Amino acid sequence: MLDIILLIVAILIILLTLLQSGKSEGMSGAFTGGSGLNLFTNVKERGPEKIIANATLVLGFVFFALVIAINLVH
Residue 71 vs residue 38, higher pLDDT: 71
Task: State the pLDDT at residue 44.
Answer: 74
User: Cβ distance 59 to 16 under 8 Å?
Assistant: yes
- Specify the pLDDT at position 31: 61
pTM: 0.72
Q: What is the pLDDT of residue 41?
A: 64
Q: Rounded to an integer, what distance in angstroms lies between the CA atom of residue 61 and that of residue 55?
A: 10
Please report which confidence band the pLDDT of residue 52 belongs to, taking 50, 70 and 90 as the band edges: very high
CA distance 49 to 16: 10
Sequence-ordered alpha helix ranges (H) in the chain = 2-19, 27-32, 48-73
- Rg of the chain over Cα atoms, rounded to whole angstroms, equals 16
- Interval 8-50: pLDDT, tens: 999 999 999 999 887 665 565 556 655 555 666 666 778 889 9
Return the domain boundaries, the chain.
Answer: 2-73
